[in-house]
Amino acid sequence: MKTFFPVLGLSLVIVLSACGGGGGGGTPAAPTTPAPAANVTVSGKVTYTDFNISAAGIDYANPTNKPIRGAVVELHNPLGTIVTAANTTETGGYSFSAPANSSVVIVVKAALGTATAPETRVINNTNGDALYTLTMPVTTVTSAVTTDFNAGSGWDTASTSFTGTRASAPFAILDTIHQGRLFVQAADSAVVFPALSVQWSVTNKTATTQNIAIGDGPGTSYGDPNMWLNGAPNLDTDEYDSAVVAHEWGHYFQSKLGRSDNPGGDHTTGDIVHPSLAMDEGFATAMGSMITNDTSQINTFKFNPPMADVLLANIENDSRLDTDIDIAFTNTSQLDGFYSEQSLIEVIWDLFDSGTEAGDTVALGFTPLYKVMTNGHKATDAFTSIYSFIHFLKLEEPASSAAIDAILEAENISMAGADEFENPAVFKLYTPITVGATETDDSDGDPLQTFDQWGAATTANSGGNKLLNFRFFKITIATEGCYTFTATPTANADLVFAPTGLDGGVVNEVESTTSPEVFSTDFEVGTHSIAIGAHSDDVFFTFGAAVAASPTLCD
Amino acid sequence: MKKIIMLSLVLMVVVSSIAQARPTSPVSLEYDEPENIMAGQLVTTKVRVIANTDLPSITLSASAYSGLLLISGNEETVFTNLKRGDSREIEVTIQLDNDLGYVAMQIASTDTMDRDRHQSLALRFGSPNTTTLSKMRSQNTIVDSSGQTLELMQAEVN
C-alpha cells in the first residue's frame, strides 16, 4: 500500500510566451499559466548478494543475487525526505511515480511490515541502532525509468577478504525472517507480528563480557525484544546462516505469539534440561527447518581457514539413545525424554513433516501446531513443556492421537496417563500443595530439594536451567486473594520463585531476600503453577502456603 | 485464565530479559579481564576452559584478532578426557596497540557421540576511548523525515 507524504519541494516549468502582436498598436497576449510537471514511473528490481553454505563454510566464490522481498522501499526527494513508501514485491520489484526531470533516491530499508511503521528492523547496535538502508539515486527524464540495483556483499574475491560495504548482510537476514513470516501467515493470514529488532554489525561477536555499543554481545540469541546476530569477519558471521536466523526467529515466534517458560541461559547438546527449555529449543530448531525447508542446519564461522558447524546433518535422524532416565540419577549419558531438546526437535519435526517412516505416520503440517502454540499451550496452567503441547495438540487433532503417541514413544516420552502438567506414571514433576498446608516431601515421598545432578545453578544458566534445578508445585485456588508461600531452606540460600500467571507465562522470577524465604502473590480462582529454585544445590526446604484474608489483595 | 494482579513489595525482581540461545559449544570460557591496561604494556592473564558436558577432547586456539599483539599463548592446546565441570587453564600474554584489542578464541570439541563442535569468541582487552567509539559509528548516517535514523549503504547498479 502506498502512502503519500507532503512533497516539500516543487518543480516548476515556467513557459514564457512572447508578447503577441507585431507592428505598433497590437494588444499584448495574456501571460500563460505554467503547465504542471509531468510524473514518470520509476521502477525496477532490487536484489542482495547471497552465498550458499555447507559444512565447508561459505561459498564466497559463487555469489548469487536474490530478490529483496517484502522490504520497506521509499521514494525520497531529496534523500531523507520521504515522498512515498511501499513494500517490495516477492520478486524484489518496486514502482513509484516521480517528478520528471528531477533527481530522486530509491531507498530500501532493512525492515519488514507496514511500510510507514515496520515492526521488524535490522539495526546497527554499534551506530546508535541506525536502520540499515540501501540507497540508489535516480535521475528521471520525461519517460519511464527502470533501475535495477543490488546490495553487494563487500567480498573481494582477489584478496579473499571483505573490502567493501557489507550491504547484503542485513538483507540476507531480512529475507530469512520474511520467509518465516510467510510461513506463519500461511497458517494464519490475520497474524499481527510484534516488534522485533535484529542487532547485527560487522563487529558483533560473542564476547565473554558484553558491551553492546561496540559489538561485544551475548552470542547468537533472542532476548525479547531483540535478536542478536554475529557479523565479525573471520570470527563468526551469521547473516548467511539461514537456519540459525530462522531458529532465533522461532524463539521470537514462541515468545511473542505463543508462549515459552524457558528460563534461558547456556545449554548444550545432551543436556538434561528444564522441560520448558527443552520444549522451546526443540520447537525453535524444528521451526528453523520448517521455514528454510532444509533438513540440515549449518552454522558458519570463519573463512580463513573455512570453518562451520553442522548443527544437524539431517533433522530426520534419531540422534539420541532410547533409554529411560535412571531414577537414581546415576546415569548422566545422553538420553531421550521430555527433558531433551534433541528428542523434542525430532518430535516436533515428525509431527509436522509429510514423510512417513517407521514410527511416524503423522503429517500435520504447521497449522495445527500453530493453533496449539497460540491457544491451549499458550494458556496452560502448567509450565510449558512437551506435555502441555501434546495435551492440547491431541484435543486439536483427536484422530491422530494414537499416531502422535507413537512418535513420542520413539523418544521415550509416554503420554499414557499424562496431562498438560506431567506424566506421573513416569516422572512426577509437580508436588501438589494445598492452602494452609505445609509440604516437606515431593510426590514420590522424598524430601523436597533441588538437584544439580545435571548441572548446578549458575549465573550463566540463569540460576538453573537443568532438570530439577527448580521444583514445580501445583496449587488450586478456590477464592481469589493474596497467597503467601513460605519456603525454608535447610542451607543458607536465597530462593527464586517463579509463578505462572494470566495468559500463561512466568511472571517475574523474584528472589526472596527475607528469612524464611517468602513470596506473596495474588491468585484468581483456578489452578496455578509455581517453581522454586535455589542458587545453591542440594538444598532441602520445607514449603508451606498460607492464605491472607480474601478479598484483600497483596500490597 | 488466571491473573497475577500485583507482586509483594517484599521481593526484589532479579530477572528481566532472558536470552534463549542456540546450543552453545559444550565448552565455556572465562578469563580474568585485566583493568587499566596501557598501550604497549605486556599483560598476562589466565583463560579457563570449562567442560559443560563429558568431552573426550577439546582443542583451544588463540590468535590476535584486532588491536593487539599476542605475545604468547598462540599455540594450539589439546585437553582430553574432561568430565562435566572440569576446567583447564592456559595463559595468554598480549600487548595493546592502542586502547582496545581482542584475542580470538577458537574452540573445537568432540562430544561423547563423536560430534565435532566449534565456537568462536573474543576476549576483550582495554576499553574504547572516544576516538575509537567515534570511528565505529558510520559517517553515512542521516535522520529521515519520519524521524528514523538510517545508516546509508550505496547500492550497485545491475
What local confidence, expressed as pLDDT, does residue A332 receive? 44
Q: Look at residues B76, B73, B30 and name the one whose alpha carbon lies nearest to residue B52.
A: B30
Chain A residues 345-384 within an 8 A CB cutoff of chain B: 379, 381
Q: Distance between CA atoms of B122 and A216, rounded to whole angstroms?
A: 8
Q: Distance between CA atoms of A278 and A340, rounded to whole angstroms?
A: 6
Contacts of A455 in chain B (CB under 8 A): 52, 84
pLDDT band at B15 (very low <50, low <70, confident <90, very high): very low
A297 touches chain B (CB under 8 A): no
Is B155 in Cβ contact with A46 (below 8 Å)?
A: yes
Is B150 in Cβ contact with A133 (below 8 Å)?
A: yes
| Three-class DSSP category at B58 | strand
Chain B residues 1-60 within an 8 A CB cutoff of chain A: 1-15, 17-26, 28-31, 33, 52-54
Rounded to a whole number of angstroms, the distance from the CA of B127 to the nearest CA of chain A is 10
Is A501 in Cβ contact with B122 (below 8 Å)?
A: no
Pick among B153, B154, B157, B158 to test the A interface (most A CBs inside 10 A): B153
Pick among B9, B12, B13, B18 to test the A interface (most A CBs inside 10 A): B18
B130 touches chain A (CB under 8 A): no
Q: Distance between CA atoms of A78 and A142, rounded to whole angstroms?
A: 19
Rounded to a whole number of angstroms, the distance from the CA of B92 to the nearest CA of chain A is 15
Say which residue, A439 or B15, is predicted with more confidence. Answer: A439
B114 touches chain A (CB under 8 A): no
> A73: left (phi > 0), else alpha (psi -120 to 50), else beta?
beta
B121 touches chain A (CB under 8 A): yes
Joined together, the cell numbers standing for residue A494 give: 536465597
Is A455 in Cβ contact with B150 (below 8 Å)?
A: no
Q: Distance between CA atoms of A123 and A231, rounded to whole angstroms?
A: 12
Is B1 in Cβ contact with A503 (below 8 Å)?
A: yes
Please name the member of A126, A268, A509 whose beta carbon is closest to the beta carbon of B15.
A509
Chain B residues 134-153 within an 8 A CB cutoff of chain A: 136-138, 141-146, 148-153
Q: Distance between CA atoms of A115 and A240, rounded to whole angstroms?
A: 25
Contacts of A45 in chain B (CB under 8 A): 158
Is A47 in Cβ contact with B158 (below 8 Å)?
A: yes
Rounded to a whole number of angstroms, the distance from the CA of A397 to the nearest CA of chain B is 23
A109 touches chain B (CB under 8 A): yes
Chain A residues 394-413 within an 8 A CB cutoff of chain B: none
What is the tens place of the pLDDT at every residue in B53-103?
888 899 999 999 999 999 999 899 999 999 888 999 999 999 999 999 999
Is B8 in Cβ contact with A554 (below 8 Å)?
A: yes
A280 touches chain B (CB under 8 A): yes
Please name the member of B8, B53, B117 whose beta carbon is closest to the beta carbon of A520.
B8
Contacts of B126 in chain A (CB under 8 A): none
Rounded to a whole number of angstroms, the distance from the CA of A25 to the nearest CA of chain B is 55
- One digit per residue, the tens of pLDDT, for chain A of length 555 reads 323 223 223 333 333 333 333 334 455 666 665 555 689 999 999 999 999 999 999 999 999 999 999 999 999 999 999 999 999 999 999 999 999 999 999 999 999 999 999 999 999 999 999 999 999 999 999 999 999 999 999 999 999 999 999 999 999 999 999 999 999 999 999 999 999 999 999 999 999 889 999 999 999 999 989 999 999 999 999 999 999 999 999 999 999 999 989 988 888 877 889 999 999 999 999 999 999 999 999 999 988 888 898 888 888 876 655 444 443 333 444 578 999 998 999 999 999 999 777 778 999 999 999 999 999 999 999 999 999 999 999 999 999 999 999 999 988 899 999 999 999 998 899 999 888 888 888 898 888 888 887 877 766 666 688 898 889 999 898 888 888 888 877 766 667 777 765 444 555 556 666 667 778 888 888 899 988 887 655 566 666 655 554 455 676
Is A268 in Cβ contact with B23 (below 8 Å)?
A: yes
Please name the member of B4, B52, B100 whose beta carbon is closest to the beta carbon of A507.
B4
Joined together, the cell numbers standing for residue B107 give: 574452540
Pick among B3, B22, B45, B154 to test the A interface (most A CBs inside 10 A): B22
Contacts of A460 in chain B (CB under 8 A): 28
Query: C-alpha angle with apex A132: A130 to A135, nearest 5 degrees?
Result: 125
Give the residue on A whose Cα is nearest the Cα of B83: A332
| Beta strand ranges found along A130-258 (DSSP E) | 130-139, 145-146, 149-151, 155-156, 161-162, 196-199, 205-206, 216-217, 221-223, 226-228, 231-232, 236-237
Block residue for cell numbers 514485491 = A89
Q: Look at residues B141, B59, B146, B69 and name the one whose alpha carbon lies nearest to residue B102.
A: B69
Is B52 in Cβ contact with A134 (below 8 Å)?
A: no
